[in-house]
Amino acid sequence: MTGSCFVERLGHYLRLTDGEQSALSRLEGQERVYRRGTLIRQEHERSSELFVVHSGWLLKFVLLNDGTRQILRLHLPGELVGLSCLAFPVAVESLCAATDVRVSVVDRTAMWELFADHPRLAVLISMLEQVERVATGDRLASVARSKARARVAALILDTICRLRLINRDTESSFVLPLTQEEIGDATGLTAVHVNRMVRSLVDDGLIRRSGHHITILDEPRLGEVAGFVNRYAAVDSTWLPSLS
């Protein structure tokens, strides 16, 4: 047991050697705890820190010049957040705690050393960044080209598919700890319209909801409504050379 859900997550994709495991465990530094709503990092702030999410959810977002917020990504436990600091000395995205969270801090130079010493991990981390990039592209397509109802449905499906990667016994029920305004900021809608679309999904028997607890009643039909494709299931790391 390493105790880090990041190492555990990488282990899903690759059988890690002892050297790789210990390098990963040295990667994570100081642990921090934030309460729901805390702004962890602000755009334009000088920073070369990455975070590993241990528990809780993070929101990654940008603010537009008219003051509106665009949530770019929900980050769940086990994820590495903030690789953009490889390219930018100044934060290009803000981070805030969607729930109470525990994270640990990773320094940029530690990432560099990991890349230098463990190329398999470098490729694996790059792979997972690609998955995130592709998912962001899917969200772009969803926001740009589909209707409000479909976007909300897509967010729900994307989220549950990712939760299933973490917790294999997630069925079709989960807690979405976002306010309707946050769902709107993620999908490019107003809170008011999110409310109407959720109601519409409930009325059509696609989902059930009580508070923030959501149950998917008809996943195939919801997927059809959303135009959703589960990219996460298609990831393949078996081509990487085995070292064990």
The answer to whether residue 70 forms part of the interface with DNA (CB under 7 A) is no
The answer to whether residue 191 forms part of the interface with a second copy (CB under 8 A) is no
Exposed (0-12), middle (13-18) or buried (19+): which is 225, by Cβ within 10 Å? Answer: buried
For residues 80 and 160, which CB has a smaller minimum distance to DNA in the complex? 160
Q: CA–CA separation, 161 vs 219, rounded Å?
A: 11
Beta-bridged to residue 61, according to DSSP, are 71, 94
For residues 7 and 124, which CB has a smaller minimum distance to a second copy in the complex? 124
b/e map 47-60, b = 16+ CB within 10 Å: bbbbbbbbebbbbb
The answer to whether residue 131 forms part of the interface with a second copy (CB under 8 A) is yes
The answer to whether residue 69 forms part of the interface with DNA (CB under 7 A) is no
Stretch that binds DNA, among 23-31, 131-139, 144-152, 232-240 (CB under 7 A): 144-152
The answer to whether residue 110 forms part of the interface with a second copy (CB under 8 A) is no
Separation in Å, CA 216 to CA 51, 57, 145, 174, 213: 31, 21, 23, 9, 10
8 A C-beta contact, residue 45 and residue 91: yes
The answer to whether residue 173 forms part of the interface with a second copy (CB under 8 A) is no
Question: Of 14, 84, 74, which is closest to residue 241 (Cα–Cα)?
Answer: 14
Stretch that binds DNA, among 7-15, 26-34, 47-55, 145-153 (CB under 7 A): 145-153
Question: Which listed residue (188, 229, 232, 235) binds DNA by CB under 7 A?
Answer: 188
Name the pairing type of β-strands 58-63 and 69-75. Answer: antiparallel
3-state helix, strand, coil in the chain (%, to 5): 45, 20, 30
8 A C-beta contact, residue 60 and residue 75: yes
Contact map string, positions 193 to 232, toward DNA, x by CB under 7 A: x-xx-xx-----------xx--------------------
Tell me which residues touch a second copy (CB under 8 A): 48, 62, 64-66, 68, 70, 72, 83-84, 86-90, 92-93, 108-109, 112, 115-116, 119, 122-123, 126-134, 136-141, 143-146, 187-188, 224, 227, 231, 234-237, 239-241
Tell me which residues touch DNA (CB under 7 A): 36, 147-149, 179-181, 188-193, 195-196, 198-199, 211-212
